[in-house]
């Protein structure tokens, strides 16, 4: 066979559909890339699945209804996790109640009203940077600001405020993403008819971004269920006596137990705790976060099905 230049072989291939080296190479690269990326997906999922399975298997001896409803007994070596479970739910719900309205309203201002000037650019930069502040720093801020300065003391309200402050930047960012997903043409069409910005936001922008906003907010706040440092400094307590299965064991100005803190305590501070109890606590925390996320995903699917365009 005669030697051909690359340009010539290309012409030949396109004319006669001959499989040249170039085509073979291209197809091979395509296959390699696909399988390589799939491999990475498996590599990512594998540790996650094995971790959950491992924890679950070790937790089974302790997993029963009694464990969830019972209070810790005999210096936390026996009994269940009820006070910690309720405490975490309290902390997350109060943090959600604070950060959702504040974060969403702030995002609406920044996205819909704020003009592009140095002041708002500085705020945007601050929001982005705040999202990267380590939780221990937020914890110290919460201790200084809410526990001491605002005199809320060590309490659920201090801890939830700290968690809320911590999630606020991410709530703002995710809300702004949801707002930006609504096409600008819709807003202009409304402004052209003489609608005010607020009328446009309330009647067009919000109804069409609410699924993204809600799920974003809930996902972000549920993430805080596992945080230990911020609540340890501001309102979570090692042990607190409550009634078994009591749904309202805490007031907002009281300290509470929390799952993450409890797990830390029984794993490192308390001797002679059954291994299965530690794993069961861990799987409960995991299950709680998964449950909140599942709610949020269901909500998103339901709201998406009502979406208008």
Cα distance between residue 141 and residue 287, in whole Å = 30
Among the listed residues 115, 119, 149, 272, the single contact to another protein using CB under 8 A: 115
Sort 153 into a burial class: Cβ within 10 Å, 0-12 / 13-18 / 19+: middle
When asked if residue 194 is in the footprint of another protein (CB under 8 A), the reply is: yes
In the complex, least distance from residue 260 CB atom to another protein, rounded to whole angstroms: 41
In the complex, least distance from residue 216 CB atom to another protein, rounded to whole angstroms: 20
Query: Residue 168: how many CA atoms within 13 Å on its side-chain side?
Result: 21
Nearest CB to another protein, comparing residues 26 and 121: 121
Residue 76 in 3-state DSSP?
A: coil
Cα distance between residue 204 and residue 110, in whole Å = 17
In the complex, least distance from residue 60 CB atom to another protein, rounded to whole angstroms: 49
One character per residue 20-59, x = contact with another protein (rule: CB under 8 A) = ----------------------------------------
Among the listed residues 28, 34, 121, 203, the single contact to another protein using CB under 8 A: 203
Nearest CB to another protein, comparing residues 84 and 303: 303
Widest distance between CA atoms in the chain: 91
Which residues are bridge partners to 256 per DSSP?
A: 236
Among the listed residues 189, 294, 297, 301, the single contact to another protein using CB under 8 A: 189
When asked if residue 186 is in the footprint of another protein (CB under 8 A), the reply is: yes
When asked if residue 305 is in the footprint of another protein (CB under 8 A), the reply is: no
In the complex, least distance from residue 300 CB atom to another protein, rounded to whole angstroms: 17
Stretch that binds another protein, among 46-54, 55-63, 101-109, 192-200 (CB under 8 A): 192-200
Stretch that binds another protein, among 84-92, 99-107, 214-222, 301-309 (CB under 8 A): 301-309
In the complex, least distance from residue 185 CB atom to another protein, rounded to whole angstroms: 5
Nearest CB to another protein, comparing residues 186 and 239: 186
Tell me the two tokens of residue 228: 């230990």
User: How many other CB atoms are there within 10 angstroms of residue 20's CB atom?
Assistant: 17
Q: State CA 174 to chain mean position distance.
A: 11
- 253 vs 150, 151, 167, 250, 262, CA distance in Å? 12, 10, 21, 8, 20
- 292 vs 87, 218, 254, CA distance in Å? 15, 7, 24
Cα distance between residue 171 and residue 162, in whole Å = 14
Query: Which residues sit at the interface with another protein, rule CB under 8 A?
Result: 115-116, 185-186, 188-196, 199, 203-204, 207-208, 307-309
């Amino acid at each position: 066979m005669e030697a051909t230049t690359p340009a010539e072989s290309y012409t030949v291939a396109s004319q006669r559909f001959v499989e040249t080296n170039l085509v073979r190479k291209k197809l091979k690269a395509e296959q390699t890339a696909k399988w390589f990326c799939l491999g990475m997906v498996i590599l990512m999922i594998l540790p996650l699945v094995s971790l959950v399975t491992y924890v679950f298997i070790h937790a089974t001896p302790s997993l029963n209804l009694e464990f969830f409803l019972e209070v810790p007994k005999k210096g936390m070596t026996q009994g269940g996790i009820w006070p910690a479970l309720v405490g975490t739910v309290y902390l997350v719900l109060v943090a959600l109640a604070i950060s959702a309205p504040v974060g969403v309203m702030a995002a609406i201002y920044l996205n819909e009203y704020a003009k592009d000037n140095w002041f708002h650019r500085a705020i945007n930069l601050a929001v982005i940077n705040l999202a990267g502040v380590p939780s221990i720093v937020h914890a110290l801020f919460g201790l200084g600001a809410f526990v001491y300065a605002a005199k809320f003391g060590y309490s659920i309200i201090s801890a939830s405020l700290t968690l809320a402050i911590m999630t606020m930047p991410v709530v703002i960012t995710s809300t702004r993403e949801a707002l930006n997903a609504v096409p600008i043409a819709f807003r202009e069409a409304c402004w052209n008819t003489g609608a005010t910005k607020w009328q446009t936001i309330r009647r067009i922008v919000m109804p069409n971004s609410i699924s993204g906003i809600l799920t974003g907010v809930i996902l972000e706040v549920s993430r805080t269920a596992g945080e230990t440092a911020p609540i340890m400094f501001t309102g979570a307590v090692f042990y607190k006596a409550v009634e078994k299965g009591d749904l309202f064991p805490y007031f907002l100005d009281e300290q509470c137990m929390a799952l993450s803190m409890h797990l830390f305590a029984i794993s490192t501070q308390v001797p002679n705790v059954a291994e299965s109890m530690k794993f069961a606590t861990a799987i409960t925390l995991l299950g709680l976060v998964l449950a909140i996320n599942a709610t949020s995903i269901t909500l998103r699917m339901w709201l998406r099905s009502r979406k208008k365009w």
